[in-house]
Chain A
Amino acid sequence: MRRILFIWPVLLLTLLACKGEQAGDGGVYQATDTLPMLITQIQKCSRLYTVEMKVHKIVTHDDVIRLRGSVLQKDFNFKVPLGARKIAIPMDATLKAYVDFSQFSEKNIERNGDKITVILPEPKVLMTSSKINQKEIREYVALARAHFSDAEMTEYEQQGRAAIIQSIPQLGMFEMARENSARVLVPMLTALGYQEENITIAFRKQYGVDDLKRLLEIIP
């Protein structure tokens, strides 16, 4: 009887603790903004964005625990039962191609009578934003494993971001960036009084795949 009386307060406290969790799930959180903004870097620039591409990627990770080793000079490698986890993270990203005008000068202009040639620097591509579709993330976790932590998920997202940046040379943005630069600049030059047929927009060089990889702007 005494033992039962002793157990009651423990049970009551456990139930109260569970109640606290339920309240949290219902969205009644105490959200606090206690930490200030860290760093702001302001940079003056002059960039003409000419192409915008939206891409989608599903980042997947198959987290299988494997037992590896060697005994009696025999190697073995097998899956641990009940140790598998899987996650799929859908993400969207916006890529933009631009021409940098910050170093633009008289050297970029060639005039011959009524004709004008504008020589533009090499276009570059950067990722301007990315969004994780949090509500569409799916994870499957075996009984013996813990759920994916926030740190693990952000690490996979960062790897997915890097994979998108690596795939930029295959997306064909650079050629489009060249064509669209002309579409923006030609109307401006015609407004300045030049005839359309007298305007040439040129770029410094043709690109190979290695050049394209070099032009990627990767934020660490």
Chain B
Amino acid sequence: MRKTIENIRSITVAAAIIAVILIAVWLYRSLGDARLEMGADNSIDLTPTQIESIKAVGEWEFLSISTEELVDTTRKRLFGDDQLVRIYYGTLRLGVDMKQVEPGWITQRNDTLFLTLPKIGLLDRDFIDEARTKSFFESGTWKAEDREALYKRAYRKMTAHCLTPTNLRTAEENGRESFRKLLRSMGYQKTEIKFGK
């Protein structure tokens, strides 16, 4: 009887030890696989693109000037300055608006065709692709007005750098060449093309 009790006790102890070992192994494996991460999804939500207006145009582009402008602003403070630096991208398109052609803009005398095209100018007043802007550096907090001011400065600088008499002249020369080529392909060999002033 005593021996039986001792045997039962030994078996119980052994079973307990085995159970503890098994639990320890299970915990070790489970916690070994444990992972923890914290983060946020950086992509935008799906929203519709709404058409605000659509219109027919007739604009002939002869010169395209793609440019980028680095603009910065600084705010003086007692302990270090705040700074915002952005890179803006834009494309100035030079050409003519065919809706501005006057009656009788094409005339023919003998074997020569005379064309009078409207004055070369900027086809789009809004030429900055602001959604393409890159933020280069930022320290401190900046408001919408500050970004708006940077946009306007980038606009003025791009206009000053790109809307030059040389570029307007180049656009005019290319426009003349383009129309000459177009008319030649239609069989008109002699053409005189001028632009409005």
Contacts and interface: CB of A to CB of B under 8 A. Distances in A.
Interface of A: 13, 16-17, 20-21, 24-25, 27, 29-73, 80, 91-94, 96, 98, 101-102, 104-106, 108-109, 111, 116, 127-132, 134-135, 137, 147, 149-151, 153-161, 163-164, 167, 171, 173, 176, 180, 183-184, 188, 191-193, 219
A13 B90 CA distance: 44
A29 B73 contact: yes
Interface residues of B, number: 102
A129 B126 contact: yes
Interface of B: 30-31, 33-79, 82, 84-87, 90-91, 93, 95, 98, 105-106, 108, 113, 123-124, 126-135, 138, 141-149, 151, 153, 157-158, 161-162, 167, 170, 174-175, 178, 181-182, 185-188
Which one of B57, B138, B167, B174 has the greatest number of beta carbons of chain A within 10 Å? Answer: B57
26 contacts: A29-B146, A32-B74, A34-B72, A35-B70, A37-B67, A37-B68, A37-B161, A38-B87, A40-B67, A41-B66, A47-B61, A49-B61, A53-B51, A55-B51, A63-B40, A65-B39, A71-B31, A80-B38, A101-B182, A104-B181, A129-B129, A131-B130, A150-B84, A157-B130, A184-B58, A192-B106
A131 to B, nearest CB: 5
A167 to B, nearest CB: 4
A56 B52 contact: yes
Contacts, number: 290
Contacts of B93: 128
Closest 3 CB pairs of A and B: A161-B131, A134-B144, A46-B178
A20 B146 CA distance: 16
A95 to B, nearest CB: 9
A70 B128 contact: no
Contacts of B144: 134-135, 137
Contact of B68 (A38, A72, A101, A150): A38
Nearest to B27: A72
Contacts of B170: 42, 44
A154 B133 contact: yes
Given A129-B126, A147-B141, A69 B40 contact: no
Which one of A27, A42, A60 has the greatest number of beta carbons of chain B within 10 Å? Answer: A42
A38 B136 CA distance: 13
B131 A130 contact: yes
Given A54-B52, A73-B30, A40 B153 contact: no
Given A42-B170, A66-B39, A72-B34, A56 B105 contact: no
Contact of B49 (A94, A104, A153, A167): A167
Contact of B33 (A41, A70, A94, A156): A70
Contacts of B58: 48-50, 180, 183-184
Contacts of A98: 61
A128 B91 contact: yes
A60 to B, nearest CB: 5
A170 to B, nearest CB: 8
A10 to B, nearest CB: 12
B59 A49 contact: yes
Contact of B71 (A33, A48, A191): A33
